[in-house]
Amino acid sequence: MTEQTPPPPTTGCRTAPVLKQRGQREVFCGLTGIIWLHRKIQDAFFLVVGSRTCAHLLQSAAGVMIFAEPRFGTAILEESDLAGLNDAHAELDRTVEQLLARRPDIRQLFLVGSCPSEVIKLDLSRAAERLTQQFAPKVRVLEYSGSGIETTFTQGEDACLAAMVPVLPSSDTRELLVVGALPDVVEDQMLGLLADLGVGPVRVLPAHRIDDEVGIGPNTVFALTQPFLGETHAALERRGARHIAAPFPFGEEGTTAWLAAIAAAFDVPEETFTRVTEAPRRRARAAIAQAAAPLRNKSVFFFPDSQLEVPLARFLTRECAMSAVEVGMPYIHDAIHGPDLDLLPQGPQISEGQDVDLQLDRCRAARPDLTVCGLGLANPLEAEGLSTKWAIELVFTPVHFYEQAGDLASLFARPLRRKAILSPRVEAAE
Amino acid sequence: MKLTVWTYEGPPHVGAMRVATGMKGLHYVLHAPQGDTYADLLFTMIERRDHRPPVTYTTFQARDLGSDTAGLFKKACQDAYDRFRPEAIIVGASCTAELIQDDPGGLAETMGLPIPVIPLELPSYQRKENFGADETFFQIVRHLARPMERTARVSCNLLGPTALGFRHRDDVAEITNLLYELGIEVNVTAPMGATPSDIARMGQAHFNVLLYPETGEQAARYCERTFGQPYTKVVPIGTGATHDFIAEVRALSGSDAPLDTNRLRQTWWSASVDSTYLTGKRVFIFGDGSHVLTAARIARDEMGFEVAGMGCYNREFARPVRALARAYGLEALITDDYLEVERTVEALQPEMILGTQMERHIGKRLGIPCAVISAPVHVQDFPARYSPQMGFEGANVIFDTWVHPLVMGLEEHLLHMFREDFEFNDAAGPSHHGGHAPAVRLHPEPASAAAQAHMDHADREQPVAGGEVIWLDRAERELKKIPFFVRGKARRNTESYAAERGLREISLDTLYEAKAHFAR
């Protein structure tokens, strides 16, 4: 490692005791993944089979009408649909026909299960098979669950990608598959780095269009760019693909470790690796050093939200010199989060799941300098004098890889800088 | 099943949350899966509330379904009582919990909590947000309000304002001041700002002012029946309606205190010479029933617009909206289908939309300016400044709000004259308002040949009516020389002129004959 990054801790947090409490949770459900997936997969439409609440959630989560014609919608269940399931299937067929007539450009249709459709046991996999037969070869119909009784926030992307894995064609080619939806600019940077390392061929999941999809098989190796892809990880392994375990590519250290694990799997010579990564590493370290100045020696508290908490806590503690008070995750998956937990120095309380009232009590008692939480808690905590960072921005903003490392640090620094700008003047006015 | 892209109203339990969050000392225990907690951010982010909504969710998960979700509900209810010590609790289920039939009301009643427990029956698969708010407020009043002796001085209650309401915060302040000037005290404002004990003393008032029929009408009717409190029927939005409201209040209260109307600028602003450009502008009005009814009157009688169409999304108000539309010589559009509203606006080609945030969006796509008059709310509908819709100040605010998106007096003529100016031309839109560039592409990403064909059609600025009348090249080019804010009207008039005469083609002559025909 470099001079700037501390050596790995002798004992990380992988074996630290995990606090598990269950009670009220303050998280989005997996349906919200649609908000970014429908932009990422450009010939797909996401049809939630659910209630008015689901439609309202998507609208609210999309910031109330960002897009003129989103490629998602809701088939709202009505009282008549709840009476008999045969009815509901006929209704669904009718709705899908209506939708595909309106949007002839759609090539992939995802039927997305919701809490009500699961409670009434509406069989969407049967519906997807039936509709695929009806609309093949033009449209492929898949289904997954984004329901709040099954999934939280980013787990929706996991469920979506996992649903795509079984229908990918078979292939024996040795290829690297990079898994996880990234902003296009970040994806291009990543592909550039891998190309410079001589790693290839490289494919991405999700692909922009159905025609860009590639085969998968025992010679496929895959790396995850997002720490919430547990189901997809399992589905790929079932197809015989092999996972390259690594810390996630956040910050200079995470990106280097992630690339190094892939380089090792593809026998990239040491000097090539150094030559390719040297300049961007230097840039990333400089950018972090500048952006993270307000974060030094400050404490941070993570509410569980996006599953990015462990890798981000690793980044903030090791590269931005913060101390973590609590790192809450919706759920922990050892094979995926282990490498980051290994690097996270012991100290913070690791918690899984949530009882939000009890967690708020701990947060208030600790009075952290920065609290990372969802939108439902941010303003109330600000009103109590705590500085907060909306977790949602970490999902929607380009934060991966070297060139974004400084931006990532500044996302966390901004609430503190803002407070520093505002409070003296407010106090002076009082 | 109903295909929905955007929706005007949330589910009924969100209506109940609007009531609970508006009140103080009340807690809502909601049987709901974990995803339903998204509703908190409506209040903390859109409305910028500084505290969490007083709602405890049971947040059950799939693995709980086979076991004791009823036990989970009782524990959540007990925990909520122990932690928050509310004066009263309302209990209910969201759409998913409704399906598992745990009966939260019955369960909570058996727990022996030492405070009133009010069960809510909000059928999620039949009803929507406004119903949820109206019904919840009614149940709270029915359970808590008691008959009482009237206050010594004439007083009234203000009914209907909730959390997440469209300008409710400022409307309440404006109307409270207006009533104060008339010598009338406000006994209780509810649900917004009221505690359960405030609700208990609602019976003290001499009459009720129903500010928002959408969310307070059942309670107002109940109070009339039970406590003999009459309630006001006029919603005081607009100058005329405010005067009518004052007359109604005077009749109910006997007040003859004089009112100072010096602050009312709208009437002179409307009459001033710069406003001539407003004359006969065709507007389409869509929103919740009450705001549409009041907006139609303002548009025609106080701004001098022509109401080209109107409608509402809440079917509960279909009857009065239909009746008023008929009086305006129109047929009302009653629908909660965003796509249907869009088709109507596209066909009507109004010069301005008075709508909700949805219509603002439709307007953006079609290049039609839009002012927002009604919920559903957006973070923009909670401005830092004082910005009521009701009363005289509300009339002033509405004048500004509606005029702002339009190209204004002199500018309209300058645009005509300097059409070729490279930075001041019709394609650039109103110079003071960079916001609406005309005619945005409908589908930003082409995918297939079919989609491309679809887009080519959609990309035309306005569709040819019925697809039968063809614009000849010279006429089409001449049409493009007409400034964008009247182009839609010119196209529409010319097409209807041609259609009436059985013409299949529109030539340059047809365009000018139609112009002469429609000249005013």
pLDDT tens for each residue of chain A, 430 residues long: 444 577 888 888 999 999 999 889 998 899 999 999 998 999 999 999 999 999 999 988 776 555 556 899 999 998 888 876 668 899 999 999 999 998 899 999 999 999 999 999 999 999 999 999 999 899 999 999 999 999 999 999 999 999 999 999 999 999 999 999 999 999 999 999 999 999 989 999 999 999 888 899 999 999 999 999 999 999 999 999 999 999 999 999 999 999 999 999 999 999 999 999 999 999 999 999 999 999 999 999 999 999 999 999 999 999 999 999 999 999 999 999 999 999 999 999 999 999 999 999 999 999 999 999 998 999 999 999 999 999 888 888 899 999 999 999 999 999 999 998 886 655 544 4
Domain spanning A30-151: CATH 3.40.50.880: no
Domain spanning B12-127: CATH 3.30.930.10: no
Tokens for B222, please give them: 């109940």
Distance of CA B478 to the CA centre of its chain: 39
Tokens for A324, please give them: 């973590």
Within an 8 Å CB–CB cutoff, is residue A26 touching chain B? yes
Q: What is the pLDDT of residue A88?
A: 86
Nearest chain A alpha carbon to B83: A357
**CATH architecture of the domain with range A175-280:** 3-Layer(aba) Sandwich (3.40)
CATH code: domain B470-519 is 1.10.8.550
Instruction: Determine, for residues B364 and A56 on separate chains, whether the beta-carbon distance falls below 8 Å.
Output: no
Within an 8 Å CB–CB cutoff, is residue A323 touching chain B? no
Instruction: Determine, for residues B1 and A77 on separate chains, whether the beta-carbon distance falls below 8 Å.
Output: yes
Spans in chain B with pLDDT lower than 70:
409-410, 413-467, 520
Rounded Cα gap, residues B498 and B484, in angstroms: 21
Q: Which of B60, B357, B448 sits opposite A64 (nearest CB)?
A: B357
Q: Which of A77, A148, A383 sits opposite B50 (nearest CB)?
A: A383
**Distance separating the N- and C-terminal Cα atoms of chain A:** 50
Delimit the domains of chain A by residue range: 18-25+292-429, 30-151, 175-280
Q: What is the pLDDT of residue A220?
A: 96
When computed from its CA atoms, the radius of gyration of chain A, rounded to whole angstroms, is 22
Q: Which of A28, A92, A379 sits opposite B35 (nearest CB)?
A: A28
Beta bridge partners of A388: A371
Angle at the Cα of B227 (from B226 to B230), degrees rounded to 5? 105
Instruction: Determine, for residues B128 and A88 on separate chains, whether the beta-carbon distance falls below 8 Å.
Output: no
Q: Known catalytic residue: B103? A: no
Delimit the domains of chain B by residue range: 12-127, 145-253, 265-406, 470-519
Q: What is the pLDDT of residue B452?
A: 36
A54 is in an annotated binding site: yes
Check: CB of residue A185 under 8 Å from CB of residue A139.
Answer: no
CATH code: domain B265-406 is 3.40.50.1980
Contacts of B62 in chain A (CB under 8 A): 118, 147, 149-150
Check: CB of residue B191 under 8 Å from CB of residue B139.
Answer: no
Instruction: Determine, for residues A115 and B95 on separate chains, whether the beta-carbon distance falls below 8 Å.
Output: yes
Fold of A18-25+292-429: Rossmann fold (3.40.50)
Q: What is the pLDDT of residue A18?
A: 95
Decide if B145-253 and B470-519 have a common fold.
no
Instruction: Determine, for residues A53 and B36 on separate chains, whether the beta-carbon distance falls below 8 Å.
Output: yes
Could you tell me the CA-to-CA distances from A341 to A208, A319, A337, A417, B316 in Å, in that order? Answer: 32, 15, 6, 29, 56
ipTM of the complex: 0.92
Type of residue found at B255: S
Tokens for B95, please give them: 């759409």
User: Is the dihedral angle over the CA atoms B334, B338, B341, B347 positive or is it negative?
Assistant: negative
Contacts of A250 (CB under 8 A, 6+ apart): A308, A311, A312, A314, A315, A399, A400, A405, A408
Q: Which of B4, B57, B96 sits opposite A74 (nearest CB)?
A: B4
Alpha helices in B254-382 (DSSP H): 266-271, 289-297, 318-327, 338-348, 357-366
Q: Look up residue B465 and give its DSSP letter.
A: G
Contacts of A148 in chain B (CB under 8 A): 33-36, 96
pLDDT tens digits, one per residue of A150-163: 999 999 999 999 99
Q: What is the pLDDT of residue B460?
A: 37
Q: Which of A42, A52, A105 sits opposite B11 (nearest CB)?
A: A52
Contacts of A93 in chain B (CB under 8 A): none
The answer to whether the bond into A380 is cis (omega within 30° of 0) is no
**Distance separating the N- and C-terminal Cα atoms of chain B:** 48
Instruction: Determine, for residues B3 and A98 on separate chains, whether the beta-carbon distance falls below 8 Å.
Output: yes
List the single best residue of A20, A24, A303 to mutate versus B (max B Cβ within 10 A): A24
Decide if A30-151 and A175-280 have a common fold.
yes
Catalytic residue, candidates B68, B274, B421, B459: B274
Within an 8 Å CB–CB cutoff, is residue A327 touching chain B? no
Rounded Cα gap, residues B32 and B9, in angstroms: 19
From the number of C-beta atoms within 10 Å of its C-beta (0-12, 13-18, 19+), residue B195 rates as middle
Contacts of A275 (CB under 8 A, 6+ apart): none
Q: What is the pLDDT of residue B428?
A: 58
Q: What is the pTM of this model?
A: 0.90
**CATH architecture of the domain with range B145-253:** 3-Layer(aba) Sandwich (3.40)
List the single best residue of A149, A360, A390 to mutate versus B (max B Cβ within 10 A): A149
Within an 8 Å CB–CB cutoff, is residue A81 touching chain B? yes
Residues 107-126 of A with CB under 8 A from B: 107, 115-116, 118-120
DSSP string, B191-206: STT--HHHHHTGGGSS
What is the side-by-side order of every strand in the sheet holding B370-372?
Answer: B333-334, B306-312, B282-287, B352-355, B370-372
Instruction: Determine, for residues A27 and B48 on separate chains, whether the beta-carbon distance falls below 8 Å.
Output: no
Residues 39-58 of A with CB under 8 A from B: 42-43, 49, 51-53, 55-57
Instruction: Determine, for residues B378 and A78 on separate chains, whether the beta-carbon distance falls below 8 Å.
Output: no
